[in-house]
């Protein structure tokens, strides 16, 4: 029976029952974490043999004769540029390989445009006092963190099942102080939505008032499938080539959730104009990133097919976890009409909307019962979810057994808060 159709007596009875369940759970002194998109121990193990690839017997010389142990090659070794170019579906000349973190490359890119002209005739963003950035919501807290750090006013754009609401985006970019938008175009964080062809085409056709508008295309989950379905995403650069907008997108990806989160390889792709500006910074910033680690990755995978085969192992580990989360939501919350969510086909999260006005309380009660969730509101700029309903569930880190317990806590708390909310209404 739907909670909203219960009368007060029924709600009170349900509240008593749930409150007892919650207290029983609390007595278990759990310590579980579903807060971040962190790979689990089993996932780390499947890349363990990568650590043998570059040993003391290994030749560390690239095909073109450069010693990877020494200084140099600022934008990455050619074989790794090729591999990451294949991942992103671009040509190697568009690619720069960085350190271990695509987040770092995104931060560096925004930082670059803060103090250097981001496009011909445009002032550095530091000088744009009312600078703004578009943030599809729910979205990734670390994206919002970067633009907040650099003093952008963040304007939310609602997500639809096809990606950001492009009617809204097209309207907002008429403001010249709007300088860019954060996108996770495939298996979006947290909803797992892949942008439709129409969405990508409309991005490619954007005519922002700001000549230095940038689409931050964070392809974090580019090959991170949870099903056997080939979920396709149009290539943003191909589309922008057609529309003459090649300077709009800057794409990012990494192997953080392919090999080791702390020791992967990150890369970015951009037009010549954008790359000229970005590399003109990097050439002062570093002599080159860790090329032994690039070589380690290239030799471990061979090519994109090798990387995709590796991703199937991740899928096999993660699929049961995501199934469990979705089943718990379906069985424990759906019958009461107090939840909505997308079933993700890839990525690292399940985005759960609990009853409006209860998300913060749910997260707090879970915490009191020993289950850490992503902070409520974290999927919104400034941590402010206007409906207080969205919670990002990260099912990857716990064991299946722990995840099951954690989801039991979560569903009890979601129900308890919903009933309490209705009783107070």
Binding site residues, a second copy, CB under 8 A: 36, 38-39, 41, 44, 47-49, 51-52, 54-56, 58, 67-73, 99-101, 103-104, 107-108, 111, 114-115, 124, 126, 142, 145-146, 149-151, 256, 260-263, 281, 284-293
Collapsed DSSP state (helix, strand, coil) of residue 292: helix
Nearest approach in angstroms of CB 287 to a second copy is 6
Nearest approach in angstroms of CB 399 to a second copy is 14
Inter-CA distances, 291 with 70, 88, 252, Å = 8, 20, 18
Nearest approach in angstroms of CB 11 to a second copy is 41
User: Where in 249-358 does DSSP place strands (E)?
Assistant: 249-254, 266-270, 340-341, 350-353
Nearest approach in angstroms of CB 142 to a second copy is 7
Nearer to a second copy, 92 or 264 (CB): 264
The helix or strand, by DSSP H or E, that contains position 135, with its residue range, turns out to be strand 132-137
Inter-CA distances, 315 with 307, 310, 311, Å = 13, 9, 6
Nearer to a second copy, 212 or 332 (CB): 212
Nearest approach in angstroms of CB 148 to a second copy is 8
Q: With the CA atoms of 314, 251, 377 and 3 taken in that order, what torsion angle do they form, in degrees rounded to the nearest 10?
A: -60
Nearer to a second copy, 69 or 211 (CB): 69
CB under 8 Å to 243, separation ≥6 — which residues?
204, 205
Nearer to a second copy, 9 or 284 (CB): 284
Nearest approach in angstroms of CB 96 to a second copy is 14
Nearest approach in angstroms of CB 261 to a second copy is 4
Nearer to a second copy, 52 or 238 (CB): 52
Report d(CA 162, CA 201) in Å as an integer: 12
Nearest approach in angstroms of CB 404 to a second copy is 22
Alpha helices in 190-267 (DSSP H): 197-204, 236-243
Nearer to a second copy, 139 or 261 (CB): 261
Check: CB of residue 205 under 8 Å from CB of residue 234: no
Residue in this structure with the two tokens 């722990």, named with its chain if needed = 402
Nearer to a second copy, 296 or 421 (CB): 296
Taking phi first (over 0 means left), then psi (-120 to 50 degrees means alpha), and beta for anything else, what does residue 163 get? Answer: left
CA-CA-CA-CA torsion sign (406, 408, 409, 414): positive
Nearer to a second copy, 82 or 291 (CB): 291
């Amino acid at each position: 029976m739907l909670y909203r159709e219960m009368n007060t007596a029924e709600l009170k009875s349900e509240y008593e029952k749930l409150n007892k369940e919650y207290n029983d759970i609390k007595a278990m002194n759990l310590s579980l974490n579903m807060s971040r998109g962190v790979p689990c121990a089993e996932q780390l193990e499947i890349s363990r043999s990568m650590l043998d690839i570059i040993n003391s017997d290994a030749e560390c010389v690239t095909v073109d004769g450069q010693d990877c142990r020494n200084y140099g090659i600022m934008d990455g070794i050619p074989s790794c540029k090729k591999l990451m170019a294949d991942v992103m579906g671009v040509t190697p000349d568009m690619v720069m390989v960085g350190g271990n973190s695509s987040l770092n490359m995104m931060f560096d890119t925004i930082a670059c445009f803060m103090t250097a002209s981001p496009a011909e005739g445009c002032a550095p963003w530091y000088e744009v006092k009312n600078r703004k950035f578009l943030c599809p919501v729910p979205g990734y807290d670390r994206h919002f963190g970067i633009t907040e750090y650099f003093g952008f006013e963040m304007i939310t754009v609602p997500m639809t099942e096809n990606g950001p609401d492009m009617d809204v985006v097209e309207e907002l970019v008429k403001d010249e102080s709007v300088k860019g938008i954060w996108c996770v175009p495939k298996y979006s964080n947290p909803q797992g939505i892949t942008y439709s062809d129409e969405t990508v085409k409309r991005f490619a056709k954007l005519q922002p008032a700001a000549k230095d508008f940038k689409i931050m295309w964070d392809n974090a989950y580019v090959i991170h499938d949870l099903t056997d379905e080939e979920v396709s995403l149009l290539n943003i650069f191909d589309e922008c080539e057609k529309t003459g907008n090649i300077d709009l997108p800057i794409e990012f990806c990494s192997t953080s959730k392919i090999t080791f989160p702390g020791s992967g390889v990150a890369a970015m792709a951009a037009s010549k104009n954008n790359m000229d500006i970005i590399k003109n910074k990097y050439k002062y910033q570093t002599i080159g990133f860790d090329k032994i680690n690039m070589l380690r990755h290239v030799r471990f995978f061979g090519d994109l097919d090798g990387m995709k085969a590796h991703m199937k192992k991740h899928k096999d580990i993660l699929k049961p976890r995501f199934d469990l989360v979705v089943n718990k939501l379906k069985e424990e919350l759906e019958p009461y009409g107090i939840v909505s969510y997308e079933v993700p086909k890839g990525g690292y999260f399940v985005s759960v909307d609990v009853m409006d006005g209860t998300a913060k309380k749910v997260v707090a009660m879970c915490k009191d019962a020993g289950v850490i969730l992503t902070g409520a509101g974290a999927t919104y700029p400034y941590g402010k979810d206007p409906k207080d309903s969205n919670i990002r569930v990260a099912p990857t880190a716990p064991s299946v057994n722990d995840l099951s317990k954690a989801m039991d806590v979560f569903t009890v708390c979601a129900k308890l808060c919903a009933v309490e909310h209705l009783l107070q209404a």
